[in-house]
């Protein structure tokens, strides 16, 4: 497949279903959790693509399936024109050097028995890039790049704060000189005062190394600050996709409107005039999603057609994509 307009990552009709099994010895599949169900988008080189939605909507699964940490049930993932779903073994390992992930929880993603030097240097050894003194120098350089003292190299993760641990996670992701990084809610486990520092660090690194990000989050204010384009996910599907300014000034999907109405505005006059949209009911189970539009069980402007016919995900002009019968 030929890549156009400097597209680095292209996702086509991506699906990831997890089997639900019953039985201890003879396990029988009785259904599937449709974590990601027919998702398509692309990410241009050097841009930050935001992916937002409630917890459990499939955002993290999208990121991990792009990196082939989860193998997709169906669909294609093109990275620099190469279909990753067809690669195995050494071919996939070579591509993995160019794709990295920053995990959500800096307390769980670092091995407590390894020193910082070993954690950051491990990818360099695995891919045969540097060993011994050369590896140590590269690790110290990476620590400096992410704003940590290079002489922390022999310390263990428990000796660092949450923000410092996340910087170590960023340094580990940078070790392989990647082109693309999946940022899986990298600031949601951190104090608010530290969140801005990590966001600023990611932006500086993007400018310095020409990185491309998939930024997964549920905080719309953060996504607006860092992203170029934003996709909104609900129950395994993308319901709206456009550039950040269009999304915030003209949200078209009722779910996006409800999410944005929950973001506080630091202006008491505007805040007082604003209408807050409260969604009723619970998110349906991804193992048994509703028919038609998946949002119809909680939508404040639902119509009869929404309950039966799934809306088409279409471009309504200017690259603003939305899946809603009312638009």
Please tell me the predicted confidence (pLDDT) of residue 4: 52
Among 227, 304, 235, 222, CA closest to 61: 235
Report pLDDT digits (tens) over 115-151: 999 999 998 888 888 888 888 999 999 999 999 999 9
Strand order in the sheet with 74-79: 28-44, 7-22, 74-79, 82-83
| Residue 73 DSSP one-character state | S
Segment 88-97 long-range contacts (CB within 8 Å, at least 24 positions apart): 92/68, 93/127, 96/67, 96/68, 97/127, 97/176, 97/177, 97/178
**Residues making up the chain, counted from first to last:** 327
What are the residues facing 111 on neighbouring strands? none
Report pLDDT digits (tens) over 70-84: 999 999 999 999 999
Give CA separation, 279 vs 150, 297, 299, 310, in Å. Answer: 49, 10, 7, 20
Q: How many CB atoms lie within 10 A of CB 103?
A: 19
Whole-structure pTM value: 0.90
Which domains does the chain show, CATH number per domain? 7-98+178-322 (3.40.50.300), 111-177 (no CATH)
Helix, strand, or coil (residue 304): helix
| Average pLDDT of the segment spanning 232-241 | 94
Report pLDDT digits (tens) over 187-207: 887 888 888 899 999 999 999
Measured CA to CA, the distance from residue 69 to residue 36 in angstroms comes to 14
- Evaluate if residue 1 carries a pLDDT over 50: no
- Percent of the chain having pLDDT more than 90? 62
């Amino acid at each position: 497949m030929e890549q156009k307009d400097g597209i680095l990552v292209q996702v086509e009709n991506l699906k990831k279903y997890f089997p639900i099994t019953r039985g201890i010895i003879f396990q029988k599949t009785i259904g599937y959790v449709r974590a990601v169900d027919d998702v398509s988008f692309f990410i241009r080189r050097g841009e930050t693509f935001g992916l937002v939605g409630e917890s459990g909507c499939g955002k993290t699964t999208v990121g991990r399936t792009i990196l082939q940490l989860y193998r997709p049930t169906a669909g294609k993932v093109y990275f620099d024109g190469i279909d990753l779903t067809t690669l195995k073994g050494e071919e996939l390992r070579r591509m993995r050097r160019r794709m990295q992930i920053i995990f959500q929880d800096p307390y769980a993603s670092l091995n407590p028995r390894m020193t910082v030097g070993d954690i950051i240097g491990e990818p360099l050894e695995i891919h045969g890039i540097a060993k011994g003194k050369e590896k140590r120098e590269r690790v110290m350089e990476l620590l400096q790049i992410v704003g940590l003292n290079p002489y922390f190299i022999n310390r263990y993760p428990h000796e660092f704060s949450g923000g410092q641990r996340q910087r170590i996670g960023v340094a580990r992701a940078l070790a392989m000189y990647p082109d693309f990084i999946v940022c899986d809610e990298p600031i949601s486990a951190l104090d608010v005062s530290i969140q801005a520092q990590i966001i600023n660090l990611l932006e500086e690194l993007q400018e310095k190394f020409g990185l491309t990000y998939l930024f997964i989050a549920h905080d719309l204010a953060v996504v607006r600050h860092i992203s170029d384009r934003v996709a909104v996910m609900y129950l395994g599907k993308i319901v709206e996709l456009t550039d950040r300014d269009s999304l915030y000034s003209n949200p078209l999907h009722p779910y996006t409107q409800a999410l944005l109405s929950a973001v506080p505005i630091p202006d008491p006059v505007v805040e007082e005039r604003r209408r807050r949209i409260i969604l009723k009911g619970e998110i349906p189970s991804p193992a048994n999603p509703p028919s038609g539009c998946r949002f119809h069980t909680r939508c404040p402007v639902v119509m009869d057609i929404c309950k039966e016919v799934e809306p088409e995900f279409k471009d309504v002009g200017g690259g603003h994509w939305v899946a809603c019968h009312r638009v």
